[in-house]
Amino acid sequence: MSRVIVMLPTYNEAENIEPLLDALLALEPRVEILVVDDDSPDKTWLLVQRRAAEEPRLHLLYRKTDRGRGKAGVAGMRKALELGADAVIEMDADWSHDPRYIPRMIAAAERTGAAIVIGSRRVDGGGEAGRHPLRAIITWAANAYIRLLLEFPVRDTTTGYRYYTRACLEAMPWEAIRAEGPEILQELMLAADARGFRMVEIPIRFVDRRAGRSNFNLRIMLRSLGSIVRLWLRPGALVPEGSDLARRRRQRRRRRLRAAGPRPRRDRPHPSPGVSLAATAQGAG
Protein backbone atom coordinates (compact mmCIF):
# COMPACT_ATOMS: atom_id res chain seq x y z
CA MET A 1 0.00 0.00 0.00
CA SER A 2 1.21 3.51 -0.82
CA ARG A 3 2.71 5.52 2.00
CA VAL A 4 0.74 8.77 2.17
CA ILE A 5 1.92 11.60 4.42
CA VAL A 6 -0.41 14.47 5.29
CA MET A 7 1.63 17.65 5.68
CA LEU A 8 0.24 20.36 7.98
CA PRO A 9 1.97 23.77 8.10
CA THR A 10 1.04 25.31 11.47
CA TYR A 11 1.36 28.62 13.27
CA ASN A 12 -0.70 29.20 16.42
CA GLU A 13 -3.11 26.30 15.89
CA ALA A 14 -3.12 24.93 19.46
CA GLU A 15 -6.93 25.13 19.59
CA ASN A 16 -7.33 23.04 16.45
CA ILE A 17 -4.41 20.66 16.20
CA GLU A 18 -5.30 17.85 18.63
CA PRO A 19 -8.83 17.10 17.34
CA LEU A 20 -7.49 17.34 13.79
CA LEU A 21 -4.77 14.79 14.57
CA ASP A 22 -7.43 12.49 16.03
CA ALA A 23 -9.49 12.72 12.85
CA LEU A 24 -6.50 12.11 10.57
CA LEU A 25 -5.23 9.13 12.54
CA ALA A 26 -8.69 7.54 12.37
CA LEU A 27 -8.81 7.64 8.55
CA GLU A 28 -8.91 4.62 6.30
CA PRO A 29 -6.73 4.08 4.36
CA ARG A 30 -4.19 4.87 7.05
CA VAL A 31 -2.00 7.92 6.62
CA GLU A 32 0.99 9.41 8.39
CA ILE A 33 1.13 13.04 9.50
CA LEU A 34 3.93 15.60 9.32
CA VAL A 35 3.34 18.83 11.25
CA VAL A 36 5.61 21.69 10.13
CA ASP A 37 5.52 24.30 12.87
CA ASP A 38 7.22 27.70 12.71
CA ASP A 39 7.85 28.07 16.45
CA SER A 40 4.24 28.93 17.30
CA PRO A 41 3.99 31.27 20.33
CA ASP A 42 0.95 29.27 21.50
CA LYS A 43 3.15 26.13 21.64
CA THR A 44 1.35 24.17 18.93
CA TRP A 45 4.65 22.36 18.35
CA LEU A 46 4.82 21.23 21.98
CA LEU A 47 1.39 19.56 21.78
CA VAL A 48 2.49 17.74 18.64
CA GLN A 49 5.83 16.77 20.16
CA ARG A 50 4.14 15.14 23.16
CA ARG A 51 1.69 13.27 20.94
CA ALA A 52 4.45 12.13 18.55
CA ALA A 53 6.31 10.48 21.44
CA GLU A 54 3.43 7.98 21.66
CA GLU A 55 2.27 7.87 18.02
CA PRO A 56 4.70 6.46 15.41
CA ARG A 57 2.61 7.80 12.51
CA LEU A 58 3.05 11.40 13.68
CA HIS A 59 6.15 13.44 12.82
CA LEU A 60 7.15 16.99 13.76
CA LEU A 61 9.38 19.41 11.86
CA TYR A 62 10.03 22.29 14.25
CA ARG A 63 11.46 25.41 12.57
CA LYS A 64 12.87 28.49 14.29
CA THR A 65 14.53 30.20 11.30
CA ASP A 66 13.63 31.12 7.72
CA ARG A 67 9.97 31.04 8.67
CA GLY A 68 6.86 31.73 6.60
CA ARG A 69 4.16 29.82 4.75
CA GLY A 70 6.18 29.36 1.58
CA LYS A 71 9.39 28.27 3.30
CA ALA A 72 7.44 25.91 5.57
CA GLY A 73 5.78 24.34 2.54
CA VAL A 74 9.10 23.67 0.81
CA ALA A 75 10.69 22.30 4.00
CA GLY A 76 7.67 20.09 4.68
CA MET A 77 7.51 18.61 1.18
CA ARG A 78 11.20 17.82 1.20
CA LYS A 79 10.99 16.31 4.67
CA ALA A 80 8.07 14.12 3.61
CA LEU A 81 10.16 12.80 0.73
CA GLU A 82 12.99 12.05 3.17
CA LEU A 83 10.52 10.09 5.29
CA GLY A 84 9.74 7.91 2.27
CA ALA A 85 6.35 9.27 1.20
CA ASP A 86 4.84 7.87 -2.00
CA ALA A 87 2.41 10.79 -1.96
CA VAL A 88 2.00 13.97 0.07
CA ILE A 89 -1.28 15.67 0.90
CA GLU A 90 -1.05 19.28 2.01
CA MET A 91 -3.92 20.81 3.95
CA ASP A 92 -4.70 23.64 6.38
CA ALA A 93 -4.65 22.85 10.09
CA ASP A 94 -7.63 25.03 11.04
CA TRP A 95 -10.42 22.65 9.90
CA SER A 96 -11.08 24.67 6.74
CA HIS A 97 -10.16 21.45 4.93
CA ASP A 98 -12.20 18.48 6.11
CA PRO A 99 -10.13 15.27 6.52
CA ARG A 100 -12.99 13.22 5.06
CA TYR A 101 -11.89 14.27 1.56
CA ILE A 102 -8.51 12.56 1.90
CA PRO A 103 -9.72 9.04 0.93
CA ARG A 104 -11.45 10.60 -2.09
CA MET A 105 -8.21 12.31 -3.13
CA ILE A 106 -6.28 9.06 -2.88
CA ALA A 107 -8.97 7.23 -4.87
CA ALA A 108 -9.02 9.96 -7.55
CA ALA A 109 -5.24 9.72 -7.97
CA GLU A 110 -5.40 5.94 -8.31
CA ARG A 111 -8.35 6.08 -10.71
CA THR A 112 -7.02 8.81 -13.01
CA GLY A 113 -3.26 8.46 -12.70
CA ALA A 114 -3.02 12.19 -12.03
CA ALA A 115 0.10 13.57 -10.37
CA ILE A 116 -1.84 16.30 -8.53
CA VAL A 117 -5.36 16.07 -7.11
CA ILE A 118 -6.83 19.42 -6.12
CA GLY A 119 -9.53 19.87 -3.52
CA SER A 120 -11.57 22.38 -5.49
CA ARG A 121 -14.24 24.87 -4.48
CA ARG A 122 -14.86 25.85 -8.10
CA VAL A 123 -16.13 22.60 -9.65
CA ASP A 124 -19.63 21.13 -9.45
CA GLY A 125 -20.34 20.03 -5.90
CA GLY A 126 -17.68 22.30 -4.40
CA GLY A 127 -18.15 25.54 -2.52
CA GLU A 128 -17.57 27.57 0.62
CA ALA A 129 -19.45 28.06 3.87
CA GLY A 130 -19.18 30.43 6.80
CA ARG A 131 -16.88 32.92 5.11
CA HIS A 132 -17.21 36.68 5.38
CA PRO A 133 -18.63 37.95 2.06
CA LEU A 134 -15.68 40.31 1.53
CA ARG A 135 -13.17 37.51 2.05
CA ALA A 136 -15.09 35.31 -0.39
CA ILE A 137 -15.06 38.09 -3.02
CA ILE A 138 -11.32 38.64 -2.56
CA THR A 139 -10.65 34.91 -2.98
CA TRP A 140 -12.81 34.76 -6.12
CA ALA A 141 -11.06 37.81 -7.61
CA ALA A 142 -7.58 36.48 -6.78
CA ASN A 143 -8.42 33.16 -8.41
CA ALA A 144 -9.69 34.89 -11.56
CA TYR A 145 -6.56 37.08 -11.69
CA ILE A 146 -4.24 34.07 -11.37
CA ARG A 147 -6.10 32.07 -14.01
CA LEU A 148 -5.96 35.03 -16.40
CA LEU A 149 -2.21 35.54 -16.05
CA LEU A 150 -0.89 32.00 -15.61
CA GLU A 151 -3.59 30.12 -17.58
CA PHE A 152 -3.62 27.06 -15.35
CA PRO A 153 -5.64 24.03 -16.56
CA VAL A 154 -7.73 23.98 -13.35
CA ARG A 155 -10.53 26.12 -11.93
CA ASP A 156 -9.33 26.54 -8.34
CA THR A 157 -5.79 27.92 -8.27
CA THR A 158 -5.69 29.17 -4.67
CA THR A 159 -6.80 26.13 -2.69
CA GLY A 160 -4.20 24.71 -0.32
CA TYR A 161 -5.79 21.23 -0.20
CA ARG A 162 -3.74 19.14 -2.62
CA TYR A 163 -2.39 15.65 -3.24
CA TYR A 164 1.03 15.29 -4.93
CA THR A 165 2.72 12.10 -6.11
CA ARG A 166 6.32 11.47 -5.18
CA ALA A 167 7.36 11.61 -8.85
CA CYS A 168 5.87 15.08 -9.16
CA LEU A 169 7.58 16.41 -6.03
CA GLU A 170 10.93 14.87 -6.96
CA ALA A 171 10.78 16.78 -10.26
CA MET A 172 10.23 20.15 -8.58
CA PRO A 173 13.07 22.72 -8.89
CA TRP A 174 13.11 23.39 -5.14
CA GLU A 175 16.03 25.81 -5.26
CA ALA A 176 14.12 27.97 -7.77
CA ILE A 177 11.04 28.33 -5.56
CA ARG A 178 11.20 31.80 -4.00
CA ALA A 179 7.79 32.00 -2.34
CA GLU A 180 7.67 33.32 1.20
CA GLY A 181 3.90 33.15 1.56
CA PRO A 182 0.89 31.36 0.06
CA GLU A 183 2.10 32.03 -3.47
CA ILE A 184 4.01 28.76 -3.11
CA LEU A 185 0.77 27.12 -4.25
CA GLN A 186 1.02 28.84 -7.64
CA GLU A 187 4.78 28.27 -7.95
CA LEU A 188 4.36 24.52 -7.45
CA MET A 189 1.43 24.40 -9.87
CA LEU A 190 3.36 26.34 -12.51
CA ALA A 191 6.41 24.08 -12.19
CA ALA A 192 4.23 20.96 -12.38
CA ASP A 193 2.34 22.26 -15.42
CA ALA A 194 5.62 23.09 -17.17
CA ARG A 195 6.83 19.52 -16.62
CA GLY A 196 3.68 17.96 -18.03
CA PHE A 197 2.18 16.58 -14.82
CA ARG A 198 -1.54 15.94 -15.02
CA MET A 199 -3.89 17.67 -12.56
CA VAL A 200 -7.48 16.79 -11.68
CA GLU A 201 -9.98 18.42 -9.33
CA ILE A 202 -12.45 16.90 -6.90
CA PRO A 203 -15.16 18.95 -5.18
CA ILE A 204 -14.68 20.03 -1.57
CA ARG A 205 -16.66 22.22 0.78
CA PHE A 206 -14.38 24.84 2.32
CA VAL A 207 -15.52 25.92 5.80
CA ASP A 208 -14.05 28.88 7.65
CA ARG A 209 -11.78 28.03 10.59
CA ARG A 210 -13.29 26.58 13.78
CA ALA A 211 -11.08 28.43 16.26
CA GLY A 212 -8.12 30.78 16.43
CA ARG A 213 -7.23 33.70 14.19
CA SER A 214 -6.20 33.65 10.55
CA ASN A 215 -2.59 34.57 9.81
CA PHE A 216 -3.58 35.98 6.41
CA ASN A 217 -3.60 39.77 6.06
CA LEU A 218 -3.59 42.54 3.45
CA ARG A 219 0.21 42.75 3.30
CA ILE A 220 0.51 39.02 2.57
CA MET A 221 -2.23 39.24 -0.06
CA LEU A 222 -0.61 42.16 -1.92
CA ARG A 223 2.82 40.54 -1.84
CA SER A 224 1.35 37.28 -3.16
CA LEU A 225 -0.48 39.03 -6.01
CA GLY A 226 2.72 40.85 -6.92
CA SER A 227 4.50 37.51 -7.03
CA ILE A 228 1.98 36.27 -9.59
CA VAL A 229 3.03 39.07 -11.94
CA ARG A 230 6.66 38.01 -11.44
CA LEU A 231 5.75 34.41 -12.31
CA TRP A 232 3.99 35.64 -15.45
CA LEU A 233 6.86 37.85 -16.61
CA ARG A 234 9.91 35.95 -15.34
CA PRO A 235 9.14 32.36 -14.27
CA GLY A 236 12.82 31.43 -14.37
CA ALA A 237 13.69 27.78 -13.78
CA LEU A 238 10.08 26.99 -12.84
CA VAL A 239 9.36 26.90 -16.59
CA PRO A 240 12.30 25.32 -18.49
CA GLU A 241 13.02 27.08 -21.78
CA GLY A 242 12.49 23.94 -23.87
CA SER A 243 9.22 22.88 -22.22
CA ASP A 244 5.87 22.72 -24.00
CA LEU A 245 4.56 25.35 -21.59
CA ALA A 246 7.37 27.77 -22.51
CA ARG A 247 6.58 27.20 -26.19
CA ARG A 248 2.85 27.80 -25.61
CA ARG A 249 3.61 30.98 -23.68
CA ARG A 250 5.72 32.31 -26.57
CA GLN A 251 2.98 31.47 -29.06
CA ARG A 252 0.35 33.24 -26.96
CA ARG A 253 2.62 36.28 -26.63
CA ARG A 254 3.07 36.44 -30.42
CA ARG A 255 -0.69 36.11 -30.96
CA ARG A 256 -1.33 38.98 -28.55
CA LEU A 257 1.22 41.15 -30.34
CA ARG A 258 -0.35 40.38 -33.72
CA ALA A 259 -3.82 41.11 -32.35
CA ALA A 260 -2.59 44.45 -31.02
CA GLY A 261 -1.44 45.37 -34.54
CA PRO A 262 1.81 47.03 -35.64
CA ARG A 263 3.16 49.78 -33.48
CA PRO A 264 2.93 53.23 -35.07
CA ARG A 265 6.25 54.30 -36.55
CA ARG A 266 7.84 57.17 -34.72
CA ASP A 267 10.01 59.08 -37.21
CA ARG A 268 12.84 61.16 -35.88
CA PRO A 269 11.98 64.87 -36.06
CA HIS A 270 13.88 66.92 -38.67
CA PRO A 271 15.03 70.44 -37.84
CA SER A 272 12.99 73.18 -39.46
CA PRO A 273 14.54 75.07 -42.39
CA GLY A 274 14.93 78.13 -40.22
CA VAL A 275 16.97 76.23 -37.66
CA SER A 276 19.16 74.75 -40.38
CA LEU A 277 19.84 78.15 -41.95
CA ALA A 278 20.66 79.66 -38.58
CA ALA A 279 23.07 76.86 -37.79
CA THR A 280 24.69 77.29 -41.23
CA ALA A 281 25.05 81.03 -40.79
CA GLN A 282 26.55 80.52 -37.33
CA GLY A 283 29.10 78.08 -38.72
CA ALA A 284 30.03 80.49 -41.54
CA GLY A 285 30.65 83.29 -39.04
For each of the domains in the chain, give its residue range(s) and CATH number, in order of start: 4-247 (3.90.550.10)
- Average pLDDT of every residue of the chain: 89
Binned at pLDDT 50, 70 and 90, residue 281 comes out as very low
CA distances to 91, 137, 169, 201 from 131, rounded to whole Å, are 18, 10, 32, 22
The structure's pTM equals 0.85
State yes or no: pLDDT of 285 exceeds 50. Answer: no
Lowest average pLDDT, out of 119-128, 134-143, 144-153, 189-198, goes to 134-143
Mind listing the pLDDT tens digit for each residue in 8-42? Answer: 999 999 999 999 999 999 999 999 999 999 999 99
